[in-house]
């Protein structure tokens, strides 16, 4: 059988898709949450709640999935088996958590969990203390305790309007309200001061007529259902706006989505805060926190939000407002609206003029100070190098005397050979060659000494650190031998090049090694050891460490060592480490002191890599 080129291309594409689907991480299980809503899924409250809950979940768990299921037909008895259609609907699906929004859905959520997803957690966000106590022993169940908004708003009514004589209530029914089941208990303390007018369960037309005939000194508590099925033609928001147009009676609400529709507001719960509380428990559950460690928690405290426009319309003045309330829709006065603009403009012009002059002056002073600082640092570094050469005078004298002594010895040998009747020319040539080599070695010491003493003001160049460190070790070879100390080099081939003044970097290293040699005088000769290490650091730069086996920092804070004129040596000036840090920082690096766990002291300076700098 032959295949066309098109078939071959399709087969390759199919193979590529299969390979990509098998890559690690592509098939990771997504956390899934089932949100059970008894009805009213298109109401503003429900839509805002769903959006906010999804956003809160995705913020912490970007791969989480939230599924909304509206179930208006609930099983009549929680002890009865689940309907066949319900188990068929969810067969083959898996959820990590179930959220029944109403307390009536909790038994069904638990039955679904036990039947289909035994390891799933159930979050019940609509509980009171009695219901929570009854569910305390149910495994893998958490919950949130609702606040009593009805009692708070009834107290608010008599705070804002103490002359109230009638309380008209619009709800799903004083005894059938699934969201506010405590109407009777909350109303009982206030019925001695006001008469109850129950307008619950009416159709919109009859409700409009009754609202227009309400007696004086009446306050209307609008508690139309927002999360359960609403059989009215209008939803709660439309009904609220229609009622506000028909009556001047103050209207109190306990849902934030209704504020601004003509009511004065009240103690309200918002869908965002409600979703935040649910998501708080869901996020912890999805993070692996056991449900029994979460338990039952109270919802976030409700907010007192009042509509300034409605308060003005009903004659409620600011003095009567409770402290801590949020006043919405209050327009600013003329002075309040433009006072800050006028004052701010004048102040900005005055400050700007003064600031521009001060900045120009400060800029000039800063440049002068930086130039002087660079000059002083260069002078101090040169003086420090001269002092270092003084400290190495014995070693330098030995380095010069050794080739000079060899030259003298070879010259005397050559004289003796020349007195022979038949001088050996080959041996004389070898002696002359040796004298030349010793002379060059002594000259190299003097050249190196001159370079150190000279004022090094060269521009930074791209340099390799390891050759510089090898030369430092060569300079210190005799000094180390005089002090009975072992000097080790552990140089990494991976250390990057840096942009630096090579002489100054050698000066820093030399200062650190000499300090280590001084500290080792307190240690037995067989234990004296100094190690110079180079390596690439985590940021891609270069690290140079000087480690010794001495007594450590002697209890001195590391940063104190770099203070000018502070020294732990009896005759020390205390400027070497300060100058060394200034040199390293001028090169864009850092110099720090540490005490390694193995004992001794460690001084580390880091320099940035010479990325993109020409060789």
Higher pLDDT, 251 or 38: 251
- Every domain of the chain with CATH number 1.10.287 lies at 341-453
pLDDT of residue 455: 52
pTM greater than 0.75 (yes/no): no
pLDDT, tens only, 135-169: 999 999 999 999 999 999 999 999 999 999 999 99
pLDDT, tens only, 388-421: 555 555 555 655 665 676 676 667 677 777 777 8
Higher pLDDT, 482 or 568: 482
Higher pLDDT, 457 or 254: 254
Helices vs strands, H then E, count in the chain: 19, 20
Please measure the distance between the N-terminal and C-terminal CA atoms of the chain and give it in whole angstroms: 63
pLDDT, tens only, 233-242: 567 888 888 8
Provide the pLDDT confidence category of residue 279 given band limits of 50, 70 and 90.
very high
pLDDT, tens only, 463-508: 899 998 888 888 778 778 888 889 999 999 999 999 888 778 887 8
The residue among 306, 308, 302 whose CA lies nearest residue 272 is 302
- Every domain of the chain with CATH number 3.30.565.10 lies at 459-607
- CATH topology (fold) of 149-268+301-328: Rossmann fold (3.40.50)
Average pLDDT, the chain: 81
Provide the pLDDT confidence category of residue 227 given band limits of 50, 70 and 90.
very low
pLDDT, tens only, 184-222: 999 999 999 999 999 988 888 888 999 999 999 999 999
Contact 214, 168 (CB under 8 A): yes
Q: Which numeric CATH code is attached to 32-145?
A: 3.40.50.2300
R_g of the chain, CA atoms, integer Å: 44
Give dist(CA 605, CA 8) in Å, integer.
60
| Percent with pLDDT over 90 in the chain | 34
User: Which of 248-257, 447-456, 475-484 has the highest mean predicted lDDT (pLDDT)?
Assistant: 248-257
Contact 532, 490 (CB under 8 A): yes
- Every domain of the chain with CATH number 3.40.50.2300 lies at 32-145, 149-268+301-328
Give dist(CA 493, CA 471) in Å, integer.
16
Select the CATH number that applies to the domain covering 341-453 from these four: 3.20.20, 2.30.29, 1.10.287, 3.40.50.
Answer: 1.10.287
DSSP codes joined into one string, 201-248: T--HHHHHHHHHTPPSSEEEEE---SSS---SSS-HHHHHHHHHHH--
Asked if the model's pLDDT at residue 609 lies above 70, the reply is yes
Select the CATH number that applies to the domain covering 459-607 from these four: 3.30.565.10, 3.10.20.600, 3.30.70.1070, 3.40.50.2300.
Answer: 3.30.565.10
Q: Which residues contact 574 (CB under 8 A, 6 or more apart)?
A: 563, 564, 565, 566, 567
Contact 469, 509 (CB under 8 A): yes
């Amino acid at each position: 059988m032959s295949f066309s080129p098109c078939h071959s291309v399709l087969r390759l594409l199919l193979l590529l898709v299969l390979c990509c689907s098998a890559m690690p991480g592509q098939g990771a299980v997504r956390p899934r949450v089932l949100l059970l809503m008894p009805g009213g899924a298109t109401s503003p409250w429900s839509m805002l709640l769903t959006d906010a809950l999804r956003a809160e979940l995705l913020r912490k768990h970007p791969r989480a999935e939230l599924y909304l299921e509206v179930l208006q037909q609930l099983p009549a008895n929680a002890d009865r088996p689940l309907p066949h259609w319900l188990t068929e609907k969810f067969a083959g699906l898996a959820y990590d958590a179930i959220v029944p929004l109403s307390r009536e859905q909790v038994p069904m959520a638990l039955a679904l969990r036990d039947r289909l997803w035994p390891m799933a957690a159930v979050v019940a966000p609509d509980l009171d203390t009695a219901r929570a106590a009854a569910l305390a022993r149910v495994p893998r169940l958490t919950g949130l305790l609702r606040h009593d908004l009805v009692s708070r708003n009834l107290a608010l009514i008599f705070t804002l309007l103490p002359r109230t004589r009638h309380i008209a209530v619009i709800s799903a029914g004083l005894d059938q309200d699934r969201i506010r089941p405590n109407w009777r208990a909350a109303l009982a303390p206030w019925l001695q001061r006001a008469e109850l007018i129950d307008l619950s369960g009416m159709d919109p037309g009859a409700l409009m007529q009754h609202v227009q005939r309400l007696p004086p000194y009446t306050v209307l508590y609008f508690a139309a259902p927002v999360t359960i099925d609403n059989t009215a033609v209008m939803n709660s928001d439309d009904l609220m706006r229609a009622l506000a147009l028909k009556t001047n009676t103050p209207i109190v609400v306990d849902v934030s989505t209704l504020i601004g529709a003509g009511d004065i507001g009240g103690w309200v719960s918002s869908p965002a805060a409600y979703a935040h509380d649910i998501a708080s428990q869901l996020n912890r559950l999805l993070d692996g926190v056991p449900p029994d460690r979460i338990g039952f928690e109270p919802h976030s405290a409700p907010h007192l939000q009042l509509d300034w426009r409605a308060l003005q319309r009903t004659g409620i003045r600011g003095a009567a407002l409770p402290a801590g309330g949020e006043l919405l829709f209050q327009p600013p006065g003329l002075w309040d609206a433009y006072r800050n603009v006028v004052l701010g403009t004048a102040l900005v012009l005055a400050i700007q003029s003064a600031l521009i002059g001060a900045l120009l002056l400060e800029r000039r002073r800063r440049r002068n100070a930086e130039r002087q600082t660079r000059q002083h640092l260069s002078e101090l570094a040169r003086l420090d190098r001269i002092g270092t050469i003084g400290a190495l005078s014995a070693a330098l004298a030995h380095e010069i005397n050794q080739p000079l002594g060899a030259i003298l010895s070879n010259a005397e040998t050559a004289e003796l050979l020349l007195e022979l009747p038949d001088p050996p020319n080959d041996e004389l040539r070898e002696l002359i060659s040796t004298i030349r080599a010793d002379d060059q070695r002594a000259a190299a010491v003097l050249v190196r000494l001159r370079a150190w003493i000279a004022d090094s003001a060269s521009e930074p160049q791209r340099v390799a650190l390891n050759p510089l460190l090898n030369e430092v070790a060569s300079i210190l070879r005799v000094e180390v031998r005089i002090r009975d100390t072992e000097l080790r080099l552990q140089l990494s081939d991976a250390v990057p090049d840096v942009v630096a003044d090579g002489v100054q970097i050698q000066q820093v290293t030399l200062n650190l090694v000499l300090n280590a040699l001084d500290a080792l005088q307190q240690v037995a000769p067989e234990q004296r050891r100094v190690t110079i290490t180079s390596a690439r650091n985590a940021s891609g730069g270069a690290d140079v460490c000087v480690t010794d086996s001495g007594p450590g920092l002697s209890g001195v804070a590391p940063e104190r060592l770099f203070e000018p004129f502070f020294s732990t040596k009896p005759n020390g000036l205390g400027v070497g480490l300060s100058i060394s840090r200034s040199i390293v920082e001028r090169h864009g690096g850092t110099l720090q002191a540490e005490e390694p766990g193995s004992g001794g002291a460690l001084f580390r300076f880091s320099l940035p890599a010479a990325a993109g700098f020409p060789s």
